[in-house]
Amino acid sequence: MTSPRPNQPPVPLPTAAELDILAVLWRLGTATVREVHDELRKDNVYTTTLKQMQLMTEKGLLIRGKRFGSQVYEASLPQEQTQQQIAGDLLKRAFGGSARSLVMGALAAQPASDEELADIRRMLATFAKQKGRPA
């Protein structure tokens, strides 16, 4: 595979359908269109998945390469980086830039487990320490 998008404009945010494909590729690493299509288990036809992945490649969301003579695809950005971009966009557009509102909205929509809350507390303490603030 080639290196992800050298000297290219930023990758656009993926649509819901594109996120489904990206989720498969993040899980599998690299895959053919057939492998992605089979993993999606949707009612659409193979050619729909093929066309979507070709468009995603043009947009810079996917990288196309070769494996044993077959075309394979991989996500151009790691899952964490894409999630950060989506969260940042959502933070600005839906929550007026308020991280507190975003977190409260997320926790109200989907309550976190005790383990997740402990992880969140650790992350907050780490962020506070990096900014030179008390936890």
76: confidence class by pLDDT, cuts 50, 70, 90: very high
Place of tokens 């595979």: 1
In sequence order, which residues have a C-beta less than 8 Å from that of residue 90 and are 6 or more positions away? 102
Determine the pLDDT at residue 8: 63
- Collapse the DSSP code of 111 into the 3-class scheme (helix H, G, I; strand E, B; otherwise coil) and give the result: coil
Burial class (CB in 10 A: 0-12, 13-18, 19+), 133: exposed
What are the start-end ranges of the H helices in the chain?
A: 16-28, 33-40, 46-59, 79-95, 99-109, 114-130
Burial class (CB in 10 A: 0-12, 13-18, 19+), 118: exposed
* Closest of 106, 128, 133 to residue 117, by C-alpha: 106
pLDDT digits (tens, 9 = 90+) for 80-135: 999 999 999 999 999 999 999 999 999 999 999 999 999 999 999 998 999 887 66
Q: What's 32's DSSP letter?
A: -
Full-model pTM? 0.80
Average pLDDT along the chain: 91
- Collapse the DSSP code of 114 into the 3-class scheme (helix H, G, I; strand E, B; otherwise coil) and give the result: helix
